[in-house]
Amino acid sequence: MNASDKEFLDFLDGWLAALPAKTAGEVFAQPHKTAILSVDLTNAFCKSGNLASPRVAAILPAAVALFQQGWQAGLRHIALLQDCHEPHALEYEAFAPHAVCGTEEAEAVDEIKALPFYDQMTVITKNSVSPSQNTKLDAWLEERPQLDTFIVIGDCTDICTYLLALHLRTKANAWQLPWRVIVPENCVATYDLPLETARQIGALPHAGNLLHKVFLYHMALNGIEVLRAIQ
């Protein structure tokens, strides 16, 4: 590693540690214009199956608390974007089979289902890592033209969550929409696959801590508001 790379990694650690927090009162000040979009907080990524990760499951308490904060403030626009794959999905060429439609893996975790307003959330299924490709996301947005603040949570920081946040930010930029896209760091996570384990199973390694930081930073570079938490 050269000195410049080391300097940047040190800067990245400091940047993450210094992320600001905002109050729920501030973020949910206009609840009728605010939405929470959650990505893949399902059994497949939190509880059981080939891609379940304890790192992802660890954000569930903060995510559930955020749903509750928003609802108590009057927010009524919540979308759950969730993998629902065909049995022979092309994505399985890159990732182990997971979240087949109609299975328990493709369902939201019980912690979310237990919320008294769960039946008022909108489930939007997807067949790839992209929440916007061949999904009903854009139609859901078009049905709610008053929305201008979007809180993105879920997993993985560097894959589906990143693609959702970037879709919202670039859509806003392209159409000159005065949107605010917010990602609270305590409500997003990604998995870790150490080099040695990856070699043993013939997979590509995935440095969870590093990629979590890098992709949060890249969101910030693109104008997304990355917060430590919404309190």
pTM beyond 0.85: the answer is yes
CA distance 58 to 68: 17
User: CA-to-CA distance for 124 and 79, rounded, in angstroms?
Assistant: 7
194-221 tens-digit pLDDT? 999 999 988 899 999 999 999 999 999 9
pLDDT in tens, 18-35: 999 999 999 999 999 999
pLDDT tens digits for 66-114?
Answer: 999 999 999 999 999 999 999 999 999 999 999 999 999 999 999 999 9
CA distances from 85 to 55, 126, 129, 166, 177 (A): 23, 7, 11, 22, 32
User: Dihedral of the CA atoms 7, 11, 12, 14 (nearest 10)?
Assistant: 140
Burial of 101 (0-12, 13-18, 19+ CB in 10 A): middle
